[in-house]
Structure 1
C-alpha cells in the first residue's frame, strides 16, 4: 500500500526551507494579491522571510526562464510561479497559458525541483479575483509540502 493510501498527513513544516518566488507583473493588482497571500502563508508555515527570494518579471511567459535560473543555482528547496492570464479576444491567451504552463513544468522536471504553479488562467477578471487569495495560499502550501516530500524521497 502506498503512503497516500495510508492517509499520511502532508508535512507543512516550513522552517529551514528556502523558497523562490517568481511573480509576473502583468495584471499586477491580481498578482500582487497572489504574492501577498502566498508570502503570508509561507510565514505562517514557518518559512523565514530571509529564506524567501521574491522576484518579478514582466509577464507569464518570462516566469519560466527565471525559475530555470533559480533552479540552476540549487539554492532553493521549492519554487513558486505566480501570474494571471485573462482570456482576451485573440488566440494570444491560449499561447501564453499553454507555453507558460509548459515552461514551468519543464523546469520542474529538468531540475527535479518542486514548483507550485499559481499562474491563474481565467475567463475574466472577476474569476481571477475570486481565486487570487486562495491560490496564493495554496501555492505556499504546495511548495512546502513538496519540498519536504522531495527531501524525504531523495
Structure 2
C-alpha cells in the first residue's frame, strides 16, 4: 500500500486476509509457475495457507466465471486471476485476451472486490516464461495491497 499523502509504500500485511486464486490450465506449465510464485508471495506477506483457496479452470475465458462464484461466496478479501494467452496466427488471441480481461474487471466491479489480473498476454512462449515468476509475485502484492486499501476506505 501507499500512503497517499507521502507517496511512500507501506508494509504489505496479508495477515488475516482470505485470498482466492483462479488459475487457467491452458499453457499449464506457465500458469503453474504463476500460481507457485503467487502462493509463495502471499505466504511471505503473511497470508495463512488455510486462507488461500486455489482452483483451476480450463482456460482464460473460464476464469471470470470461477472468480464470480468465489466472489458470490463472500469468503474472500481479494481474488487473483492467473492465465497465459499466447498470440497465434488468428484473431482468437484478441478475443480471448479482451473478453477474459473484461470479465475479470466486471466481476471486480460487480462485487466491489479487488482482483489482481495476472492473465499474461504475450507474443510467444519465451515472453511468458520471462514474466511468469514476477507477475505471480506481483499479483499477490496487488491482492494484499488492494484488500487492505478497501478495508481502510470502508
TM-score category by the smaller chain?
Answer: over 0.9
Give structure 1 stretches of 5+ with no counterpart: none
Deviation at 1:11, TM superposition (A): 4.3
Give structure 2 stretches of 5+ with no counterpart: none
Deviation at 1:119, TM superposition (A): 0.1
Structure 1 distance, partners of 2:59, 2:109, is 22
Structural mapping, 1:23-62, within 5 Å: 23-62=23-62
Q: Which 4+ stretches in 1 moved above 3 angstroms?
A: none
What is the TM-score of this pair, normalised by structure 1? Answer: 0.96
Aligned length: 153
SS in 1 for 2:4: helix
For the 8 Å contact 1:11–1:149, the answer to whether it is kept is no
Could you list the per-position Cα deviations for residues 52-110 of structure 1 after superposition, in whole angstroms to 9, with x for gaps in the alignment? 00000000000000100111111000000000000000000000000000000000001
Q: How big is the alpha-carbon RMSD for the aligned residues of Structure 1 and Structure 2?
A: 1.2
Structural mapping, 1:9-88, within 5 Å: 9-88=9-88
SS in 2 for 1:13: coil
Deviation at 1:34, TM superposition (A): 0.2
Tell me which moved more, 11-20 or 113-122: 11-20
Match of 1:128 in 2: 128
